[in-house]
Structure 1
């Protein structure tokens, strides 16, 4: 019989959309359903979950729904437990840094959503504290595990593009204001005091996508705005949106690559997926989304001629070739959870730590600075 090795995990923020759906249900509960995480010695790591949150009724409901019995509203008590090894945080951004510092002080390994803090100073000090405590730490970088971006990364590693020239990204969808139709994102996302804003939410994502798949970001120029200044909260009451809901960024990468990424919660989707990246190189191009990736090689590139007086006869979308899966893609959040659990249990390789999280916060902070000052801002290297 395969040995089962328990590992205690405090999960803070599981009553929220992301914490519940992606991290609890589709990751850790899914890992339990498959019998745990297999380790090198033949045993299987078994997550023992302690649910933490501020709303007792919601916690009780989540626990009962999935047959879990270990939950509490007392974070300090949960962190004091000797049978707990890992602290996970998926709270609202404004609450995260304080809780992570408590976990570091308690000597727990950390796995957390991003951004890791509301300021670069806070993110750097948190990373330093974790290093000094000798704990293992990881930050969720889920988009690297999307099938479309996995295929895109495969193309980059294989040299498909030749010299990469540019990256163009489009992300977003229309988030309803909440008056005549319920909003599909929580209202705190649009209040700066609660850590809201599309820059602090999405620029950390764009940072690790650009850094990990292409090359480090060296400068940013951004325009940031609040297109929808008035929204309606969950209680039906109107409020002023104090956080940005759209950002238009230009990122300069090592090697002369230019990336342009538009992020908006005030855009209607006219693309195949909610996020798409087009990469153009001297030898070929690709368009990658959440799941799909299509390519056009230099040899099959059409030769359109600009003539506004006649309708185009080219079906440009039909001239691209689908990249096959060539592997089975698991849920990206679950795949990264398994990597981090192996990192804690048997020192398996893991690179996306709190310093990676701090670099994401840095890019968001510099993007806001660029927008505020109306200029290009260089990205300096962080020092531990």
Structure 2
């Protein structure tokens, strides 16, 4: 059996997401399992080259995982002839320039979302990748989570009938950083550095909604900054210029209405940090990160409104757990494996999570912010480029 190592430049692995989900739980886990098997029976094994701004952090990570290749010089890394893929998990504002450099170097691209902080920038990346002939993909991790995969299984077998509505709640309390350390980086709350929950989460919601019920055709949104002052990693106070909560109504193909709340200023009273409820003519389901519960039309009880009596019906017990029926691997790793097959197989399957799909997410975020600013419903045009 043929086995070959492929160089992957990994830029931004000193950050929480880049390190935990992409380096440790994806690339190093794929190396540990002996690589990814391709359709012809051969295997490709990723060989990471770590890139970042901090020499000390890179050295520490490399030492921790017995890695030998790291540099603070992106151009040097891209010039390595063994490198075939460039991965980017930097802050949003730094991504566009680095990705363009990697495209110019002829590397295939896989990166975090959003690909850019404007739809024009996102479309330009898609155009540049297409013209250069490099394969490209974007991290769309939510649909690879066990709960969402179970939900998609219900969609695919027609469990819901006609989908009427989708309701989503996402978020948790992110500490301000004064008396309690903030659990998210401070740039997330500075608009001038690419922060903002609308730009971050609407890119997710676009592909999640496309997967469940279809494309978004109109948006009405309200983005707000609930906490106007926060404290950074050094304990220095700063003005929070980015939105930390967004409330939106999305109108989808076929008349489905989706309502999604995203907030870093909410305390959790639900089973998981994100939950989606899908209601259809034939059944309903509630999915989180790992679990999914369903209630079919034939098993739907008949609640009666009576505010004068205590609630006696065990509403949660009336839903059935959707079984795993398979072993669910880490969602980030699963998508990495799909992208590696897309790049290295002779006749690859189309990779739907590409730069144009990412551009649709950036467009939805841009239109959501515009809807909030103008106080009106905005239709979503087709993205072209």
TM-score (norm 2): 0.99
2:61 & 2:238 partners in 1: Cα distance? 29
**Superposed counterparts of 1:202-241, under 5 Å:** 202-241=201-240
Question: Which residue number corresponds to residue 269 of structure 1?
Answer: 268
Q: Distance in 2 between matches of 1:196 and 1:30?
A: 30
Q: Is the 8 A contact 1:339 1:348 kept in 2?
A: no
Q: Residue 303 of structure 2: SS of its match in structure 1?
A: coil
User: For residues 330-369 of structure 1, what are the structure 2 equivalents within 5 Å?
Assistant: 330-346=329-345, 347-349=347-349, 350-369=351-370
1:224-373 correspondence to structure 2 within 5 Å: 224-346=223-345, 347-349=347-349, 350-373=351-374
State the superposition RMSD in angstroms: 0.7
User: What is the 5 A alignment of 1:59-70?
Assistant: 59-70=58-69
Distance 1:40 1:198 in 2: 39
Distance 2:107 2:263 in 1: 36
**CA contact under 8 A between 1:11 and 1:89: conserved in structure 2?**
yes
Deviations, residues 218-248 of structure 1 (Å, cap 9, x unaligned)? 0000011011111110001111100000000
Distance 1:129 1:159 in 2: 39
Query: Secondary structure in 2 aligned to 1:48?
Result: strand
Question: How far does the alpha carbon of each residue in 1:111-165 deviate from its partner, in whole angstroms, 9 at most, with x for none?
Answer: 0000000111000011001100000000000011001000100101111111110
Q: What residue number does 2:77 align with?
A: 78
Structure 2 Cα separation of the partners of residues 295 and 304 of structure 1: 17
Q: Which residue of the partner structure matches residue 52 of structure 2?
A: 53
Alignment correspondent of 1:39: 38
2:348 counterpart SS class? coil
In the TM superposition, what is the alpha-carbon distance from 1:348 to its structure 2 partner?
2.3
Once the two structures are superposed, the pairs formed by residues 135-154 of structure 1 within 5 Å of their partners are 135-154=134-153
Q: Distance in 2 between matches of 1:343 and 1:232?
A: 43
1:177-188 to 2 correspondences below 5 Å: 177-188=176-187
Taking the aligned partners of 2:291 and 2:344, their CA distance within structure 1 comes to: 34
SS in 2 for 1:11: strand
Q: When the two structures are superposed, what TM-score results if normalisation uses the length of structure 1?
A: 0.99
Name the SS for the 1:270 alignment partner: coil
Q: 2 CA distance for matches of 1:70 and 1:26? A: 18
Mapping for residues 84-95 of structure 1, pairs under 5 Å: 84-95=83-94
Q: Secondary structure at the match of 1:260?
A: strand
Q: How far apart in 2 are the matches of 1:114 and 1:283?
A: 34
SS at match of 1:62: helix
- 3-state SS of 2:204 partner: helix
- Structure 1 segments of 4 or more deviating over 4 A? none
CA distance in 1, matches of 2:373, 2:364: 14
Structure 1: which 5+ runs fail to align? none
How far residue 41 of structure 1 moved from its aligned partner, in angstroms, is 2.1
Q: CA deviation at 1:213?
A: 2.1
1:295-335 C-alpha deviation (Å, 9 max, x unpaired):
11111111111111111111111110000001111100000
Could you say which residue in structure 1 is the equivalent of 2:159? 160
Shift of 1:98: 0.6
Verify the 8 A CA contact 1:225 1:247 in the aligned structure 2. yes
